[in-house]
């Protein structure tokens, strides 16, 4: 099982954060279009991430929902048949929801910086500090906090949950509003 420490925050000035991330990165930026289909697993979170070329990644992960640097344990299994896998898992587990996003991916050493534009939600920053075997969670948290400072995101509105959770809340608020009307 792989591990990382994550921070997620709402971004108010996407272009400004993008410029800072580009100045810090040690590799070329990758632009990704991703569709994440979340399923109902027996525990944790489970999704299929689809890419434009038909490939996909099954990602199972467990982490607590809190605003600080958070440890995440995860497994990734790659597939060349995302469409078939989506149908299979949808029948087996049921589809919880779908998150569509444009992601800019930057690397700073062991840290992945994701600048995400999420359909229906807005702009976000997600940091993932990949931990080596035996590396303490506290080291990853320290690194994540340092990168947040470099990005000028110290006082950012941190998000404690996954995008699918935010979308469900938005949908619930919209449905609640329509019932009250």
**What does the DSSP 8-state code read for residue 111?**
E
What is the pLDDT confidence band of residue 173, given thresholds at 50, 70 and 90?
Answer: low
Dihedral of CA 91/96/97/99: which sign?
negative
SS3 letters across 127-144 = EEEECCCCCCHHHHHHHH
State the pTM of this model. 0.88
Residue 2 has a pLDDT of: 92
Beta carbons of 157 and 10 less than 8 angstroms apart: yes
Determine whether 98 is exposed, middle or buried from the number of CB atoms within 10 Å of its CB (0-12, 13-18, 19+): middle
Owning domain of residue 12: 2-180
Backbone phi and psi for residue 170, each to the nearest 5 degrees, phi listed first:
-60, -45
Looking up tokens 């998000």 gives 159
Decide: 115 and 103 in contact? Cβ < 8 Å: yes
State residue 180's pLDDT score. Answer: 41
Q: What DSSP assignment string belongs to 2-42? A: EEEEEEEEE-S-HHHHHHHHHHH-SS--EEEEEEEEEE--S
Structure tokens at 116: 């995400």
Instruction: Give the count of domains, the chain.
Output: 1
Give me the pLDDT at residue 26, please. 80
Instruction: Tell me the pLDDT of the chain averaged across its residues.
Output: 91
Mean pLDDT value across residues 159-176: 81
Indicate the helix (H) or strand (E) that contains 178: helix 163-180
Q: List, for residues 104-155, the tens digit of each pLDDT value.
A: 999 999 999 999 999 999 999 999 999 999 999 999 999 999 999 999 998 8
Q: What is the CATH number of the domain that holds 130?
A: 2.40.320.10
User: 70-79 and 56-63 as β-strands: parallel, antiparallel, unpaired?
Assistant: antiparallel
Confidence at residue 63, expressed as pLDDT on a 0 to 100 scale: 87
Alpha-carbon separation of residue 84 from 79, 87, 97, 152 (angstroms): 10, 5, 17, 42
What contacts 48, CB < 8 A, 6 or more positions away? 36, 37, 39, 56, 57, 58, 59, 82, 85, 86, 89
């Amino acid at each position: 099982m792989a591990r990382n420490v994550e921070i997620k925050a709402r971004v108010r000035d996407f272009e400004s954060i993008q410029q800072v991330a580009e100045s810090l990165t040690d590799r070329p930026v990758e632009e990704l279009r991703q569709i994440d289909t979340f399923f109902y697993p027996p525990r944790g979170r489970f999704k299929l991430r689809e890419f434009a070329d038909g490939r996909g990644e099954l990602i199972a992960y467990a982490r607590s929902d809190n605003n600080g640097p958070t440890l995440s344990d995860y497994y990734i299994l790659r597939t060349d048949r995302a469409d078939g896998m989506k149908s299979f898992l949808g029948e087996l587990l049921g589809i919880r929801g779908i998150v569509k996003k444009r992601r800019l991916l930057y690397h700073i050493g062991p840290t992945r910086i994701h600048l995400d534009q999420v359909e229906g939600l807005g702009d976000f920053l997600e940091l993932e500090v990949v931990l080596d075997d035996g590396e303490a969670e506290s080291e990853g948290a320290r690194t994540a906090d340092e990168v947040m400072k470099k990005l000028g995101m110290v006082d950012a509105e941190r998000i404690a949950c996954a995008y699918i959770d935010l979308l469900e809340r938005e949908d619930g608020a919209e449905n609640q509003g329509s019932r009250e009307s």
